[in-house]
Homo-oligomer: A and B are copies of this chain.
Amino acid sequence: MTSKKTNNAHHHGDLRNALVQAGMELLTEGGVSALTLRGCAAKAQVSHAAPKHHFKDLAALREAVALECFVAFNQSLLDAIENGGSAPTEQLHSICRGYLDFAIKQPAYFDAIFSMGSLVSFSTDLGEQSPTAYETLAKVCSHFVTKERDALTVETQVWALIHGYSQLVRMGRFNEHTEAARDAPPSEGPFDQVMALLQHLAD
């Protein structure tokens, strides 16, 4: 029971939230194109006109769902750092690992973040105390800034490499092309070998 005592036919109590959660499930089940107003309403067991009281239009609902995906992504990066070593190179490895893991474990959320919200959400202030994904990335990268290499460069090098790699994995680049492995999660490929490219940042 998240809401107080509102569980009636005519007053849901927390429909906005329920619609976003329904959207997350639809996203997982059928990808971005499955995110519809009617679909979310049905999943939340509410008439299909009900969402109009909470979202101006489909784009607004999708934006809310994308933001929720971003919150999860955000947390995934923070967790990865927390569970890894504290040395700069270890943190760098951890955040990249978290990035890739999210792409593998939550492929639909990953898609949503980078196909729906463009990159807006990446720096969107969530209004909480938690930093944005970009701030987290920037902090980890800050240890590798030198006279010849400014912050923007390091951040972009790291981001481009891990994002590109995650995309390749996500797109099935390293998948076995067998019938048997159809439902298996995608292979992560030569992650460590690729990340070795970043070890030069510490030189």
Instruction: Point out residues on A near B: beta carbons under 8 Å.
Output: 114-115, 118-119, 149-150, 152-153, 156-157, 159-165, 167-168, 171-173, 189-190, 193-194, 196-198, 200
Contact = CB atoms under 8 A, between A and B. Distances in A.
Question: How many of these chains are in the complex?
Answer: 2
Interface SS of chain A:
helix
Contacts of A119: 168, 171-173
A118 B171 contact: yes
Contacts of A190: 152-153, 156
A118 B172 contact: yes
A197 B163 CA distance: 15
A148 B86 CA distance: 27
7 contacts: A114-B167, A119-B168, A156-B194, A163-B164, A164-B164, A197-B197, A200-B200
